[in-house]
Structure 1
Amino acid sequence: MKPSQLLLVILSILVASGVCREQYKIVIVGAGAAGIATATKLLENGIDDILVLEAESRIGGRINTVNFHGCNVDLGAEWVGGEVNNVVYETLKDRNLLYLLTRDVFPEKFYLSSRQMISEKLSKELFDAVFAAFDINTGTGPHNSTGSVIQQRYRENIIKKFKAGDGDMDIFIWAEDFLRHFFLFAKGSFSWYDNAYTSDHETCPGYQNYGWKNHGYGKFLDVLIRKYPNPSRQLPFFEKLLVDKEVTKITVNDDHIVINCSDNSHYKANHVVFTTSIGVLKENHKKLFSPKLPIYKQLAIERIGIGAVIKVFLKYEHEWWGNSSGFNFIWTEKDRISSRTEFPEGPENKYGQSWITEIYNVIVIPNSRILLVVFTGEMIPVIEKLDDQIVTNGIKFTLKKFLGHLYKIMEPQTMIRSNWYHNPHFRGTYSFSSINSTGEDVKNLMAPIKNAEGCPIILFAGEATSPLHHSSAHGAVESGFREAERLINIYKN
């Protein structure tokens, strides 16, 4: 081998092993919605000396659109909620791309585990009662838990509506658990007693259940990168991206920042934009940053909540559910108690009931032969660890229990599910205002770390840093734009 060839081999090995040190103006940690929004905004404004480090082998973060037997399904963020002050909706509107969205219909029909029929009238009343109780106030005030407030409101409405001994009253009482699950799906916590009743969170006005037709939320990432609708105008985002780069240490020195990765690679930067989830910060912030983060930021990380939900998609050979848009399940007290005996596979909750009692809702994915089953609540950590076959068996058993007298329940051909809680790169789905947190905690979390001259050097983005829109994909995007604008102003000045 010639000396010149040997030199090239050595250099390529050094680069591959990460020994080659590179300096950038800006390193963005995480290629989720916030990281991509930060990078694209910088590139649009002529700042291209950037590097994006992503721990996963894909981009998108908690936006994860997967092609499942010809249908794009979202294991993470799925719906666009609201039209006003929603950067996702407004981005599409400004670019004449609203045709990507469709108004999804949430199923309103309820079914009992006892197979007792619920009339259309009672089902509608129950659906309205759930949403009436779910109408949460915003603002500041005492930190009552949302669970206690909603529970009280719901129970007072039941007492006003029914007389003692009314059979329909029992159904409304049992439906309180459906209300709890419905709330936890929206808020992402493990218990509705963990959520603060009052917070600064803002629900964007307008329709709340926009879906993405057969595109999936990942299509919005293509819009940010300019890959859609015109690939020829795509921003050079992928040229700035390195995947499978798990950041393990961020060290601030006098004149630069060093970012170390688990593969022994390391990079230098003038500024770092940290966009990973609050779950990752909770687990790793003490060993991630050197010097350690200020106490006010550590307290914010500790107080802000994050939980998880599980989404299970099942593919069937035929649409055995006919024209139904989905099913809402209400477990009777008797069936909850006997659930462990009837279905002994898998774990039980603290009341000795089977994990399948956490199944409360089934959503039909239109034109796909696919059903979506959602799990919420305190059992998420153990349900995520269950074998796929046990999960499939439990869902099939539950479908037969509730619907077996009305439909011929089929065996699913295959399934796919999420595991956000146990994934070390996420440790949860989305943040929430806990009973221990305030709006000041969100502001402290998003506040940048500055150097001795007062210049921001470590900046924080991600949905948890959005004061008004935390827990949402649009909150993540707007936080990325916010930090990009901060850097743009620094370099302009």
Structure 2
Amino acid sequence: MASRLLSSEPKIVIIGAGFAGLAAASTLLKQGLKNVLVLEAMDRVGGRVQTVRPFGTNVIEMGATWIHGQKDNPLYELAREEELLAEEGIHVASCLPGVVTPQDYFFTEHSKLLSSNRVEKITGFFGNIMSKIFSQDFKSDCSSWSLGDYLDQEFEASGLSDMEDAGIVFEWCKRAECTDEACNSIYEFSLNQLGLYTPLEGPFFNCLGVRGYQAILDVLLRYLPVSVLRCKKPVKCIHWTDSPGNTIKSKSHPVRIICEDGEQFLADHVIITVSLGCLKERALSMFEPPLPQEKLEAIVKLGFGTVSKIFLEFEERFWPEDCVGIQLLWDKGPENKDVYNVSKQNEGWKKEWFKKIGGFDMVAHHDNVLCGWITGRAAEFMETLPEEEVGEVCVRLLRNFTGWSISNLRAILRSAWHSNPYTRGSYTNVPVGVDALKEQMALAEPVPSTYQKKKMRPLQVLFAGEATHTNFYTTTHGAYLSGVREAERLLLHHGVSPRL
């Protein structure tokens, strides 16, 4: 076992029990290390993965929903080996934002149902342009642009903008892309950084079976003895090196973790896996001495957006059997450039926050449930409203756009990732003008830095989480792999070669 190869057993504390934290802990424990502790602020594991059953026995995913890609995806492989994947084809009815099928009904705000052929001309064009952008196939003189500005230019040049209703469908496409990128607006997202994300081979939307994402969490928890995991233990401050506040001096355990309830833990190493949103709010107060300037700058520069879901359970299904989604087209939607520019001047957008909702999609295994998606500051504002008001607004939208008779709303459930003090959002994005690779590398760099020659003991504070992965940020497998990366960094630091 690895512990027999070590002259002394290192004390390792992991902050956060999301996929990054659980991956780090299980990697270390599998190698035989015993002195591992995971501190989780919430009363559950999973971080931004949360599987619930509010409408009966079938699951609802409040956070992450799919496994993205298959080849070399450790979570897909784990799910496949454990037989946790859904049956083929189930993704067709799994609330896919921005994925258009002939079964999607597109309505204008005047209750006009557009033909699928007309919609597909625009959504197909949008998809082709996005594929080229991912491949970095765009004019170099546009590289400093926002994604929205470039898309608008290509749309105007295509001639498609002259088609009836083409502009409002294109605006819908941009709204849907905001969901994928977790950005407030497509006009705030970097064009030239989009291609840094590396899609894995295989279908992009791999659905899990009847137990949802919780089933994968349960597999990882098998490797954690009960004593390793401590929930409801939010951390207040981390003292590293011989900082003035580190009154407990220990040459063998130079890191001191202070929880909000006053309990303290000494460690040789601490792995920080909290969300970038949490770091944005707490980094200045959480570390003593302060983190290096380049790391603090990375935390500020990288974006961290909110993607919210609004689940609506109706007394009975009111939409046609061949309908898997009801998409909303506005005459002047929030991703219209002129509308966006006006919205920056004041807070009038709050009166129309609901315009950011792309539509309402069916949810797998739930015959009478629809899911609405909303992003950015509109999603954050939605979280502050009474739940009943949100439900009433959504029902009114469905009635006004479709003209159908809407059955009574039985229940509403919405996510609240921005309101949650331990997440403060959903996942990472890259704003215009930010060098994502540079900032993500700075974010992932341990302190004291491995690039600096110092007398201080290295590898005291390490960082993991989806925001620190340069290829797979925004994903659960990116979070998982970042946790493995930091665990293996510690193993190699102590002279242990991780077993394959």
- Which TM-score band (shorter chain)? 0.7 to 0.9
Gaps of 5+ in 2: 1-8, 93-98, 243-250, 337-345, 449-453
Deviation track 1:118-143 (CA, whole Å, cap 9, x = no partner) reads 12321322331332243333569743
Please give the secondary structure, in 1, of the residue aligned with 2:485: helix
Deviation track 1:355-409 (CA, whole Å, cap 9, x = no partner) reads 22222211101331211111123322221101001100000000001122xx431
Deviation track 1:102-121 (CA, whole Å, cap 9, x = no partner) reads 54124532222212231232
Residue 214 (str. 1) matches residue 210 (str. 2): yes
User: CA distance change for structure 1 residues 353 and 154 in 2, over 3 Å: closer, same or farther?
Assistant: farther
The normalised TM-score by structure 2 is 0.83
| In 2: Cα distance, 1:379 partner to 1:242 partner | 34
Moved more, 387-396 or 82-91: 82-91
Moved more, 314-323 or 385-394: 314-323
- Aligned AA for 2:48? R
Q: Which residue of 2 aligns with 1:189?
A: 183
Contact kept, 8 Å, 1:24 with 1:51, in 2: the verdict is no
- Aligned AA for 2:316? H
Residue identity over aligned pairs, in percent, reads: 28
| In 1: Cα distance, 2:151 partner to 2:424 partner | 27
| In 2: Cα distance, 1:442 partner to 1:162 partner | 37
1:100-179 equivalent positions in 2, closer than 5 A: 100=86, 102-103=88-89, 104-105=91-92, 106-108=99-101, 109=104, 110-135=106-131, 136-137=133-134, 142-157=143-158, 159=159, 161=160, 163=162, 169-179=163-173
Q: Which residue of 2 aligns with 1:231?
A: none
Contact kept, 8 Å, 1:363 with 1:371, in 2: the verdict is yes
- Give the CA deviation at 1:196: 1.3
User: CA distance change for structure 1 residues 194 and 391 in 2, over 3 Å: closer, same or farther?
Assistant: same
Q: Which residue of 1 aligns with 2:390?
A: 391
| In 1: Cα distance, 2:372 partner to 2:330 partner | 16
User: CA distance change for structure 1 residues 299 and 138 in 2, over 3 Å: closer, same or farther?
Assistant: farther
| In 1: Cα distance, 2:305 partner to 2:116 partner | 34
In structure 1, which of residues 18, 29, 32 is the aligned counterpart of residue 15 of structure 2? 29
Contact kept, 8 Å, 1:184 with 1:376, in 2: the verdict is yes
User: CA distance change for structure 1 residues 63 and 133 in 2, over 3 Å: closer, same or farther?
Assistant: same
- Aligned AA for 2:230? L
User: CA distance change for structure 1 residues 237 and 464 in 2, over 3 Å: closer, same or farther?
Assistant: farther
In structure 1, which of residues 259, 276, 279 is the aligned counterpart of residue 277 of structure 2? 279
1:26-425 equivalent positions in 2, closer than 5 A: 26-69=12-55, 70-93=57-80, 95=81, 97=83, 99-100=85-86, 102-103=88-89, 104-105=91-92, 106-108=99-101, 109=104, 110-135=106-131, 136-137=133-134, 142-157=143-158, 159=159, 161=160, 163=162, 169-199=163-193, 200-225=196-221, 234-254=222-242, 255=251, 256-323=254-321, 324-333=323-332, 350=348, 354-368=352-366, 369-404=368-403, 407-425=404-422
Moved more, 462-471 or 97-106: 97-106
- Give the CA deviation at 1:98: 6.0
Q: Which residue of 1 aligns with 2:342?
A: none
- Give the CA deviation at 1:434: 2.0
| In 2: Cα distance, 1:96 partner to 1:277 partner | 28
Deviation track 1:426-474 (CA, whole Å, cap 9, x = no partner) reads 1110011222321111011101113735631111000000010111111
Residue 483 (str. 1) matches residue 460 (str. 2): no
Please give the secondary structure, in 1, of the residue aligned with 2:358: strand
Contact kept, 8 Å, 2:238 with 2:255, in 1: the verdict is yes
- Give the CA deviation at 1:144: 2.1
| In 2: Cα distance, 1:44 partner to 1:155 partner | 56
- Aligned AA for 1:394? V
| In 2: Cα distance, 1:272 partner to 1:436 partner | 32
- Give the CA deviation at 1:298: 0.9
- Aligned AA for 1:492? G
Gaps of 5+ in 1: 1-22, 164-168, 226-233, 338-347
- Aligned AA for 1:398? L
Please give the secondary structure, in 2, of the residue aligned with 1:420: coil
Contact kept, 8 Å, 1:107 with 1:363, in 2: the verdict is no
User: CA distance change for structure 1 residues 335 and 267 in 2, over 3 Å: closer, same or farther?
Assistant: closer
State the Cα RMSD in Å: 2.5
Contact kept, 8 Å, 1:55 with 1:243, in 2: the verdict is yes
User: CA distance change for structure 1 residues 253 and 101 in 2, over 3 Å: closer, same or farther?
Assistant: farther
- Give the CA deviation at 1:90: 3.1
User: CA distance change for structure 1 residues 126 and 302 in 2, over 3 Å: closer, same or farther?
Assistant: same
Q: Which residue of 2 aligns with 1:3?
A: none
Equivalent pairs, count = 443
User: CA distance change for structure 1 residues 335 and 29 in 2, over 3 Å: closer, same or farther?
Assistant: closer
User: CA distance change for structure 1 residues 45 and 86 in 2, over 3 Å: closer, same or farther?
Assistant: same
| In 2: Cα distance, 1:374 partner to 1:318 partner | 21
- Give the CA deviation at 1:288: 0.5
| In 2: Cα distance, 1:185 partner to 1:307 partner | 9
- Give the CA deviation at 1:317: 2.2
Contact kept, 8 Å, 1:100 with 1:215, in 2: the verdict is no
The normalised TM-score by structure 1 is 0.84
| In 1: Cα distance, 2:349 partner to 2:456 partner | 57
Please give the secondary structure, in 1, of the residue aligned with 2:326: strand
Contact kept, 8 Å, 2:272 with 2:464, in 1: the verdict is yes
User: CA distance change for structure 1 residues 283 and 139 in 2, over 3 Å: closer, same or farther?
Assistant: farther
| In 1: Cα distance, 2:125 partner to 2:189 partner | 21
